[in-house]
Structure 1
Amino acid sequence: MPKMSSVVAVLCLAFTVFIGCSIAGQMADARRIDASPARVKGTVDRIIPGSRGSGSVVRVSYQAAGRRLTTTSLPLGLDGHPWPVVGDRLCLEVAAGHPEAVRLCGDKYPRGADWFATYQLMAVAGTAGTLMALGFVVSALRARSRPSVRRSVDTTAPSRSSPDRAGGGSLES
């Protein structure tokens, strides 16, 4: 059982690290944009339908710092943003020094405020899962390392509730 708990702990830890890195990336991009914001116009140039009930991916193209860039990470259709159609023009904020850091005008985080809160909750859940699984592993390992305290049953010794085998009498004198 500790082996399975170890696997669960490692998976929860990997999940937590992934989410933590996503949070750090969102915060870093938001800070870059806040430090030197530049407004540009983006155009929805492709909507890729999701498979098996997953959401569609919206690709937005924009020009910043003399480069043509694309992004698929904007929270379009979420956080109160309307669902776009191909050809829609969008207001975007980019970091002047890092034009690949982009968000919709007026948003705090590149993937939207709802996603940021969701990432934080997932990180807390992953951390809790890691700690619970590790606690189970430690408990199981401690229990395994303790010497067994089982009593051996002596079948030759007389029982207190049955008559004495040698004397044939009862325990009462």
Structure 2
Amino acid sequence: MRRLTWLFGALFLVLTGFGACSATLQWHRAELIDDDPVRVTGVVSRVIEPTTKYRREEIAYTVDGHRHTTVRKLDTDLSRSEPGHKVCLEAARTHPEVVRLCAEHYPQGDDIFPVYILVTVFGTAGVLFVVGYLVTSARQAGRARRAQESPLETPA
């Protein structure tokens, strides 16, 4: 049971770290684009895995004379583009490899704040599990030490 508590705590803390890093990275990438956007036209150069629910498309685009490519995962119900199809993109002028579709404006408050709330909940749960494990371990070690120091007297 104690090992399970430790594992739950570690799992929650790993999920917290992953969620916080992922959300912060998305936020940072969006700020890079929002600070100095460059609107470019990308061209779908190839479609990867067209038979699955989500298809990936490789899109080539040029910023300041340099050619870049990005791979986007799109829902096949919403996107039916083929190689040669033109796509509107917004790229960060200082980091042209950071790009998003023109229609995307992430993260918005409705999208990112729930992620941070979940990160807080998982982080708190993880800390409580780990602290509970450490307190329980310390108490059990203290009981074992006291039991060794004062053995029960046997009747004569």
TM over 0.5: yes
Q: Of residues 128, 131, 134 in structure 1, which corresponds to 2:130?
A: 134
Q: Amino acid of the residue matched to residue 71 of structure 1?
A: T
Q: How many residues align?
A: 148
CA drift at 1:119? 4.3
Q: Which residue of 1 aligns with 2:43?
A: 43
- For 1:26 and 1:54, locate their aligned partners in 2 and report how far apart those are by CA, in whole Å: 24
RMSD over aligned Cα atoms: 3.6
Give the match for residue 13 of structure 1.
Answer: 13
Q: How does 1:87-106 map to 2 (within 5 A)?
A: 87=83, 88-106=85-103
Tell me the distance in 2 between the aligned counterparts of 1:128 and 1:46. 44
2:55/2:73 contact within 8 Å kept: no
Separation in 1, partners of 2:33, 2:6: 40
Report the structure number with the largest CA radius of gyration. Answer: 1
**% same residue:** 26
Distance in 2 separating the partners of 1:14 and 1:50: 33
Contact 1:37–1:95 at 8 Å: present in 2 too? yes
Following TM superposition, by how much is the alpha carbon of 1:105 offset from its aligned partner in structure 2, in angstroms?
0.9
Higher strand share: 2
Render the CA deviation track for 1:117-146: whole Å, top value 9, x for unaligned.
Answer: 674455245324413422431342244134
Instruction: Tell me if structure 1 keeps the 8 A contact 2:45–2:58.
Output: yes
Q: Which shifted more, 56-65 or 122-131?
A: 122-131
1:40 CA displacement: 0.5
- Aligned partner of 2:63 in structure 1 is 64
Specify the alignment match of 1:162 in structure 2: none
Displacement of 1:31 in angstroms is 1.0
Unpaired runs of 5+ in structure 2? none
Query: Does the 8 Å CA contact 1:107/1:113 hold for their aligned counterparts?
Result: no
Please, which runs of 5 or more residues in structure 1 have no aligned partner?
157-173
Give SS of 1:46's match. strand
8 Å contact from structure 2 (residues 55, 74) kept in 1: no
Q: Secondary structure at the match of 2:20?
A: helix
Shift of 1:37: 0.6
Q: CA deviation at 1:12?
A: 2.4
Q: Helix, strand or coil: the match of 2:75?
A: coil
* Structure 2 equivalent of residue 4 of structure 1: 4
